[in-house]
Amino acid sequence: MADLIIDEVALEPIQLIAPDGHPTPHHGLDPTSVVDRLPAMYRAMVATRGVDEEMVNLQRQGQLALYPPCAGQEAAQVGCATALRDTDWLFPQYRELGAFLVRGIDPGGVGLSWRGTWNGGLGFVERCVAPICIAIGTNTLHAVGAAMASTWLGDGGVTVAFIGDGGTSEGDVHEALNLAAVQQAPCIVFVQNNGWAISTPTHDQYRAPSLAHRAIGYGMPGVRVDGNDVAACHMVVAEAAERARRGDGPTLVEAVTYRMGPHTTSDDPTRYRSEGEVATWRALDPITRCEAFLRHVGAWDDTLAEEAASHAADLRRSLRDAVYDAPDGPATEVFEHVFAEPTPELLRQRDELAAELEREG
């Protein structure tokens, strides 16, 4: 594998595919070396884009309470998640739909979180994905602890913590990066720098040359990658995972990308950013870039587009069905999972609620 991750942090993001689809080999590394894996990544990106749209629709219909769209960040998430083993633990925040789908999590499991019937996401931990983390940056520490555990277990596991540019300002992320470096934990902190933390632009968020540069201070490699280039994201994370597995410790990866939509369905990005900016990034769409590259190297097949669209449509349908059909569950269930065994006081309170519900009929 080429040496993508070097001691010196480069400001220029690593890119293997130019926006127009031409290969831009970096350090002698050529994206054609992963061309056989790109159709699967393309398919996952199309699925992510489709399910993301459906989530927004469902929110607009009042079926979901809230939803944080991820359109524009598909390459970062899919490139990262496809570079890992299914047994590597992911510690997401809440915008990582692409990573969830790569892991085979049912879109309904994600949708029900936002509907408000399952806080942590259905089907997550069974696939080595930690529950959605609404608090910012706190998940990075869980990833470091789990990575330390992987070392002790000798299972060759790697953990990935997902955060955003805003999240890097949280204190826990400092503690996580420092602890990971001190412990040489097999951990990747994957920052999706998507330009905006709700309404705060990156220039009001940090003054370092880049977020990857922070790695220098922790004594670990930092790498900036074009977050809209799925091949580059995939190869950078693959190399970071390989380093981690052979005992060379953590890596800080900054994927430079853009959030095309709002932070969540509750905010109005037209209040804080220009249409021109959005248009600039729309031209850098990760899905069309992947397609253009496959066409350029003669690996494109029209059936891929059809098959990907049909797969996305199936997932959208399954999401709709899961959300429309979802029962709220019995209210007394809240008492069941506070402790392994409910305390006498919890049992008293459960009976109190049960009686109240019965009176109300």
Partner 1 sequence: MTMVQAIGAALHDAMAADDRVVVFGEDVGRQGGVFRVTDGLQGTYGEQRCFDTPLAESGIVGAAIGMALRGFRPVPEIQFDGFTYPAFDQVATHLAKYRSRTRGLVRMPVTIRVPSFGAIGSPEHHSESTETYWAHTAGLKVVVPSTPADAYSLLRDSIECDDPVMFLEPKRRYWAKEDVDRAARREPIGTAVVRRPGDTVTVVTYGGLVGVALEAATLAAEEHGWDVEVVDLRSLVPLDIDTVAASVARTGRCVVLHEGPRTLGMGAEIAARLQEEVFWDLEAPILRATGFDTPYPPTRLEGDWLPGVDRLLDTVERSLSYDHA
* Residues with active-site annotation: 259, 263, 272
Contacts of 192 (CB under 8 A, 6+ apart): 73, 76, 77, 95, 162, 163, 164, 165, 227, 255, 257
The residue among 143 and 233 lying less far from partner 1, judged by its C-beta, is 143
The residue among 125 and 331 lying less far from partner 1, judged by its C-beta, is 125
Min separation Cβ 209 and partner 1, Å? 25
Q: Is the dihedral of CA 82, 86, 91, 96 positive or negative?
A: positive
> In the β-sheet with 222-226, what is the strand arrangement from edge to edge?
89-91, 159-164, 187-193, 251-256, 222-226
The residue among 202 and 251 lying less far from partner 1, judged by its C-beta, is 251
* Extended beta strands in 37-195, E state: 89-91, 159-164, 187-193
Within its chain, how far is the Cα of 309 from the centroid? 21
How many residues are there in the chain? 361
The residue among 50 and 145 lying less far from partner 1, judged by its C-beta, is 145
Residue where the block lists tokens 């994206």: 31
SS3 label, residue 247: coil
Contacts of 349 (CB under 8 A, 6+ apart): 335
Min separation Cβ 346 and partner 1, Å? 9
- The DSSP symbol for 190 reads E
The residue among 61 and 119 lying less far from partner 1, judged by its C-beta, is 119
Min separation Cβ 96 and partner 1, Å? 16
Residue where the block lists tokens 């809209």: 228
Contacts with partner 1, residue ranges (CB under 8 A)? 89, 91, 118-120, 124-126, 130-131, 133, 135, 138, 140-150, 152-153, 159, 171-172, 175-176, 178-179, 182, 333-334, 336-340, 343-345
The residue among 3 and 345 lying less far from partner 1, judged by its C-beta, is 345
Tokens of 175: 């503690």
Min separation Cβ 137 and partner 1, Å? 10
The residue among 113 and 228 lying less far from partner 1, judged by its C-beta, is 113
- Taking alpha carbons only, the member of 356, 205, 261 closest to residue 59 is 261
Min separation Cβ 322 and partner 1, Å? 16
Angle between helices 38-60 and 74-81 (to 10 degrees): 130
Cβ atoms within 10 Å, residue 329: 10
Min separation Cβ 252 and partner 1, Å? 16
Min separation Cβ 149 and partner 1, Å? 4
Which residues are 160's β-sheet partners? 90, 188
